[in-house]
Amino acid sequence: MRFDFEKFYQAVNAKRTARAASWRQVAREIGVGKSTLARMAQNKRPDADGLAALSCWAGINPADFVRPDAPAAAQVASNGHGIDERVHALNAAHG
């Protein structure tokens, strides 16, 4: 599973815009540093407390932004080891 931070940030930003609030105001309201929110704009993730505070402030459920991992085939392609290679290696080790 992975957290789709980009979509989460977009949802929080939409709530912020709808409320006509600046990021500075949001930081003050939820009790996090402005720098935390500035880093988020650079696609850097907040800590768990910051994520919880933002979720509560925006009225969104962080679980809505959890996505399944990439399919196994994509993972195999990314690490360069095919299934046939793994089966062959296992057979050689046990045979």
Q: Look at the chain and report how many structural domains it folds into.
A: 1
Residues whose CB is less than 8 angstroms from the CB of residue 36 and which lie 6 or more positions away in sequence, other chains included: 27, 46, 47, 50
Residue 39, CA distances (Å) to 22, 29, 58, 73 in order: 15, 18, 18, 33
79 within domain boundaries = no
In angstroms, what is the C-alpha Rg of the chain?
20
Confidence of residue 9 (pLDDT cuts 50, 70, 90): very high
Provide the CB-side half-sphere exposure for 36 (13 A, CA).
16
Tens of pLDDT, residue by residue over 30-72, are 999 888 888 888 989 888 999 999 999 999 999 999 998 866 5
The residue segments making up the domain with residue 27 are 2-67
CATH number at residue 46: 1.10.260.40
First to last CA, the chain: 35
Over the stretch 86-95, which tens digit does the pLDDT of each residue have? 555 555 555 5
pTM: predicted TM-score of the whole model, two decimal places: 0.68
Helix (H, G, I), strand (E, B) or coil at 67: strand
